[in-house]
């Protein structure tokens, strides 16, 4: 007679009873495992990791609705539906289910930990995405949001892995910088161009940095056009007041007051010769120059003008005998306060044109 091990002793049974018990356990274990796997699949599909991680009740091991306790409850309830046909089957079934339950609950704990980790990772990722939008709208918040995020991530070591923490730190660092650059390109384009030229954003991929640089310049042109129009409208209105015999605020203004480098640089951005040189990098002489300028005093006004000219096809125009009078004829000689200012503006333009060379 075969001897069958039980939980506490050994039992002698007939071959028929043993085979019947083994067959019953085999058939019902397959049925039971399939039902338990189906339940776990359904449970997993019903759980939103973000909502699960946000619910503090799921941190309570006695919470009946926690992932692990739901698996445990299903196993306990399902096992009540199975009645072994004999004592041998009962012993074999008990040994099998105890082992299966132990392994299933261990896997459930691991699965629940992963759900929590993924949920918290998603929460942090969403927060980083939200902060990126805030920074793009308000670039001055860049450092504050960066510090807040790094401080928050330092406190996550107990519920997310070290690799996930590093991954989120890297995401925040990259996304926040790009958001800052996008926002600054819209609101303070010259500031961003100066920062790029000084190497502040060298960690950004070159192609992306170049794209943001040109976006900033195009925005600078748009803003300059708006600002110059508003200034012209203001001066026209004030001159009309003077013509009508009214007091005007511009009567006491001198060129020193309003012909600042910032204003002249905005006027320069609206000249076709400088703006086209900024946007068309194919314009290059044999000496690899796209622009050269000179300044001159003419009839009491100082002017800055280019001494390299290009046609619409990007070819250098030859045979110009007097570049200043050519600029006057074209209407794009840049009026400046004095030749010293012309030197500063010329250097500024050269620096801006040098990006990418």
- How crowded is residue 182: how many other Cβ atoms within 10 Å of its Cβ? 19
Q: Enumerate the H helices of the chain as residue ranges.
A: 15-46, 49-54, 67-79, 87-137, 142-154, 162-187, 189-197, 206-243, 255-258, 261-269, 272-279, 323-330, 339-353
* Other residues' Cβ atoms within 10 Å of the Cβ of residue 121: 21
- What pLDDT tens digit does each residue of the chain (357 aa) get? 333 444 444 455 577 788 888 889 899 999 999 999 999 999 999 999 999 998 989 888 889 999 999 999 999 999 999 999 988 889 899 999 999 999 999 999 999 999 999 999 999 999 999 999 999 999 999 999 999 999 999 888 778 889 999 999 999 999 999 999 999 999 999 999 999 999 999 999 999 999 999 999 999 999 999 999 988 887 788 777 777 777 777 666 666 667 899 999 999 999 999 999 999 888 888 888 899 999 999 999 999 999 999 998 889 999 999 999 999 999 999 999 999 999 999 999 999 999 977
In sequence order, the β-bridge partners of residue 11 are 4
> Are the beta carbons of 212 and 192 closer than 8 angstroms?
yes
What's the predicted TM-score (pTM) here?
0.80
**Distance between terminal CA atoms of the chain?**
92
């Amino acid at each position: 007679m075969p001897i069958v091990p039980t939980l506490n002793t050994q039992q002698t049974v007939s071959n028929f009873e043993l085979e019947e018990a083994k067959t019953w356990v085999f058939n019902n274990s397959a049925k039971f495992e399939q039902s338990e796997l189906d339940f776990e699949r359904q449970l997993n599909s019903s759980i939103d990791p973000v909502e699960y991680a946000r619910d503090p009740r799921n941190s309570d091991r006695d919470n009946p609705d926690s992932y692990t306790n739901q698996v445990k409850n299903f196993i306990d309830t399902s096992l009540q539906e199975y009645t072994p046909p004999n004592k041998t089957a009962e012993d074999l079934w008990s040994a099998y289910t105890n082992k299966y339950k132990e392994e299933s609950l261990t896997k459930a704990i691991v699965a629940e930990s992963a759900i929590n980790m993924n949920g918290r990772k998603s929460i942090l990722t969403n927060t980083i995405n939200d902060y990126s939008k805030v920074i793009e709208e308000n670039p001055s918040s860049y450092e504050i949001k960066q510090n807040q995020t790094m401080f928050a991530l330092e406190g996550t070591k107990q519920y997310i892995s070290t690799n996930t923490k590093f991954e989120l730190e890297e995401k925040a660092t990259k996304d926040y910088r790009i958001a800052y650059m996008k926002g600054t390109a819209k609101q303070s384009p010259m500031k961003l161009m100066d920062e790029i030229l000084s190497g502040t954003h060298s960690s950004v991929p070159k192609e992306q940095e170049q794209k943001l640089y040109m976006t900033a310049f195009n925005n600078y042109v748009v803003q300059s056009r708006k600002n110059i129009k508003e200034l012209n409208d203001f001066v026209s209105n004030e001159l009309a007041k003077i013509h009508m015999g009214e007091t005007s605020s511009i009567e006491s203004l001198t060129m020193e007051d309003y012909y600042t480098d910032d204003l002249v640089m905005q006027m320069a951005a609206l000249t076709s010769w400088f703006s086209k040189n900024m946007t068309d990098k194919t314009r290059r002489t044999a000496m690899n120059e796209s622009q050269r300028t000179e300044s001159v005093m003419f009839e009491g006004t100082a002017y800055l003008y280019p001494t390299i000219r290009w046609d619409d096809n990007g070819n250098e125009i030859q045979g110009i005998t007097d570049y200043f009078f050519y600029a006057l004829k074209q209407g794009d000689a840049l009026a400046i306060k004095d030749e010293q200012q012309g030197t500063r503006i010329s250097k500024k333009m050269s620096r801006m044109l040098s990006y990418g060379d």
